[in-house]
Amino acid sequence: MRLLRIADGVDAAVRGLCRAVLVASGIALMVALGANVVARYVFDAGGFDWAQEVPERLFPWFIMAGVALAVQSGGHVAVETALFALPRRGAQALLLGGHALVIVAYAVLADSALQVAGIVAIERSPVLGLSGSHGYWAVAAGCALLVAGTLSNIVRVALLGPEGLPRENGESAVT
């Protein structure tokens, strides 16, 4: 099925991007925080001033990449009690409607984050001079990835039924 191949391609791209962001931001966070801890003991003046700002700028990217990755693998929080009480077609309709609402919510959140990013763009961090928009850009980008992942889930549920949803191990229930 062509739509499933497209959904798989979108998921692979999102997964690769999220993993790259997680690894890069995770390493950068560890280096910055580790260097600051060492500097506190080595230098009389204490740690590095820049090392306090780096985590503030990277942590939102780290978190949003993790959230998007969790949605893809089915590791996000879900309440499925109603699904078990419904017949298969009812569960499928409930999932499609729920996923559509999630997409709308993520789109609204992304738009709001971009608006706030524009407002706080004039703020600058004291040491690095970076814009105050970074965290809001991360939220907007993460929401875009969440929309892409949720659209992939909609395709799977529409074509395969509830069994097409990803499970905690990262694979769909249908093989």
Domain extents in the chain: 2-164
Residue type for position 15:
R
The confidence score (pLDDT) of residue 173 equals 42
Give which of 1, 3, 59 is closest to 30, Cα–Cα: 59
CA distance 29 to 26: 5
The confidence score (pLDDT) of residue 171 equals 45
Chunked in runs of 10, what are the mean pLDDT values of the chain (175 residues)?
Answer: 91 94 94 88 80 88 92 69 82 91 96 94 84 91 94 93 75 41
Q: Which residues pair with 166 in a beta bridge?
A: 172
Whole-model pTM? 0.82
* Residue bearing tokens 């970074």: 134
The confidence score (pLDDT) of residue 152 equals 92
The confidence score (pLDDT) of residue 170 equals 45
For 87, the token pair is 């017949």
CA distance 6 to 145: 15
CA distance 81 to 89: 15
